[in-house]
Structure 1
């Protein structure tokens, strides 16, 4: 076999571009003829830029120059107005802040003064409370001493045309009904009257007569309860009307009455075993064989509640 002959690559020229193009398997890079390239580059004109000095030398028309100046003046005027408005607003804010600062300082000083006054008043209030408590205790003691020989008789209905003689007769009948060793004399009753609550208040001339009346009644009622017999009542002294149990106790001050009422309520609720009075003083007992405890205020009764 004859060997294959490869024909050399054809060369085509582009007369217009002055380029020589190579085709085929030849890896040569297309090159421009140096002479043609140099001749072509000499024919290209370079664009010239204006310099800054040339631009500054341009002259504007008088009318355009005047319009630009007017625009700048208007812009400057607007900016000045805005700055003036802004400065005015800032001045107002500064003044307001200063006023707020002054007000806060004033309020702070006022608060400090009020705090001092409140602290002083609280201290003074505590002092006054102690004085009031001391005075109340003295008044309580004086009132108790003034009524050492006084008793209160409750549950006796108001009689028709009742007067001092009628109530004195009732007290004497009570003494006979409970079995006093000696009858009550008119001279032993220093004062006697009814309250708005229809309680008969009897002030004896001696504390011995008062104590004898209360002690005898307690012993009688205790004996009758043990024997399941009725205790002293209105039928025992021939008082007409519904039968009612007669209660006799020491005269109590307003404070003591309130305390004794609360103590009796505790007995009803079975939180205490008993509550009674003696010489205007209030005693309680937790159990039948317990020790009597004297109470002087509601706080003492609160200890019993616990």
Structure 2
């Protein structure tokens, strides 16, 4: 077959609607397959990135295991933050000395009329836990002479875990869900975020915002009312499928 005949044959084939449909379907299938593979790869990369972020956040939170946030203590020029921590701890019934404190300082932006949070890092985990465990005693502080923190101030002081920015955001959202009645409780435990869907229910550890949202969504799905069971005149259960029904 010479070039002219071959060209004419190809032209006839390309004008054949059946052939065009076959080629179009094959091209469409190839494109759909490539897009699906790409989407799967992107989804896998997103999951890998999310897991990496969760692990990094966990490592950062672990590095703060000796730290506590103390909020509500008035801020003054040239203050001795170590002394403020020691006196606050003593008001809660815990003996904390200078040697127990690695470092302490204020954190956050200065806002008129609002004292910044005091961050303290302890030398030992045991001392950190002793102060944290006695934090509720500050509601009824034990006064002593020479304290730089008054009992009136101490009764309004809050001692909390020093959380990463990510964990602060997750815990804030969890507490919003609690206010909305979607959770029973949300709290942090040495940097681990924990929630309880109902009173006396199991405790769930939350690592990411996705974990929290899935838990809330799952609980909401379980709370949805079930469709009422229909029966026919003879008392048999009637199962509805679309617009059709059958008795069982």
The CA deviation at 1:132 is 1.3
For 2:121, the equivalent position in structure 1 comes to 203
Contact 2:73 2:149 in 1 (8 A): no
The CA deviation at 1:243 is 9.3
The CA deviation at 1:179 is 1.4
Structure 2 residue 215 is matched with structure 1 residue 300: yes
For 1:258, the equivalent position in structure 2 comes to 169
Q: 1:179 aligns with which of 90, 93, 98?
A: 93
CA distance in 2, matches of 1:205, 1:294: 30
Q: How many residues align?
A: 197
Contact 1:175 1:184 in 2 (8 A): no
C-alpha spacing 1:277/1:304, structure 2 compared with 1 (3 Å): farther
User: How is 1:144-163 mapped onto 2 (pairs within 5 angstroms)?
Assistant: 144-157=61-74, 159-161=75-77
CA distance in 2, matches of 1:286, 1:128: 31
Moved more, 188-197 or 200-209: 188-197
CA RMSD of aligned residues (A): 4.0
The CA deviation at 1:262 is 2.4
For 1:139, the equivalent position in structure 2 comes to 56
CA distance in 2, matches of 1:125, 1:239: 57
Structure with larger Rg = 1
In structure 1, stretches of 5+ residues that fail to align are 1-93
Structure 2 residue 198 is matched with structure 1 residue 282: no
C-alpha spacing 1:203/1:106, structure 2 compared with 1 (3 Å): farther
CA distance in 2, matches of 1:154, 1:302: 33
SS in 2 for 1:202: strand
SS in 2 for 1:252: coil
Task: State the structure with bigger RCO (CA 8 A, min sep 6), 1 or 2.
Answer: 2
C-alpha spacing 1:238/1:136, structure 2 compared with 1 (3 Å): same
1:214-272: CA deviation from partner (whole Å, max 9, x where unpaired): 10113x15xx5xxxx6999xx992499x9982211112223322221123224434554
- Report which of the two has the higher share of strand: 2
In structure 2, stretches of 5+ residues that fail to align are 1-10, 111-115, 224-248
Contact 1:231 1:245 in 2 (8 A): no
C-alpha spacing 1:253/1:210, structure 2 compared with 1 (3 Å): same
C-alpha spacing 1:109/1:239, structure 2 compared with 1 (3 Å): farther
Contact 1:256 1:282 in 2 (8 A): yes
- Report which of the two has the higher share of helix: 1
CA distance in 2, matches of 1:110, 1:231: 80
